[in-house]
Amino acid sequence: MGLSTHVLDTMHGCPAAGMEVALYTTDGEAATLVRRFTLNHDGRSDGPLYDNSSLKVGTYRLVFDVAGYFKARGVDLPQPNFLNRVALDFGVAHTDQHYHVPLLVSPWSYSTYRGS
């Protein structure tokens, strides 16, 4: 349980393996870096970002390096590219529930939702 993420590359139809991600706690406009990590072969972190015992009620931010990922895949992006980093701000109200934050992304669009 706790907090997890997963990224799917909708341009290539595969997990976004190798994408760099940063996790922050937030308080208004202030953000504190918790950790940086690279997504594995399945487009996921290698474990929960927080387990149930360490996840706290509050607000968080995940920042995904979209441009860096697509450049590394050899995609010819215009300069400046449309998406650079995608930042998702979200709140955790119930620490006894699982919060899964997936990202579906291409160089030109993204979507997210609260998964399970």
Is 41 annotated in some ligand binding site?
no
Residue 1: pLDDT over 80: no
Q: Are 107 and 81 in contact (CB under 8 A)?
A: yes
Residues in the chain: 116
Query: CA distances (Å), 71 to each of 18, 57, 76, in order?
Result: 11, 36, 7
Kindly list the strands in the beta sheet with 110-112, ordered across the sheet, starting from the edge strand earlier in the chain. Answer: 14-15, 3-9, 99-105, 110-112
Q: Say what the pTM is.
A: 0.96
Name the percent of the chain lying above pLDDT 90.
97
Is 113 annotated in some ligand binding site?
yes
Is 69 annotated in some ligand binding site?
no
Q: Return the domain boundaries, the chain.
A: 2-112
The pLDDT score that the predictor gives to residue 52 is: 85
What class, spelled out in words, does domain 2-112 have in CATH?
Answer: mainly beta
Q: What phi, psi does 68 have (nearest 5°)? A: -60, -40
The pLDDT score that the predictor gives to residue 85 is: 98
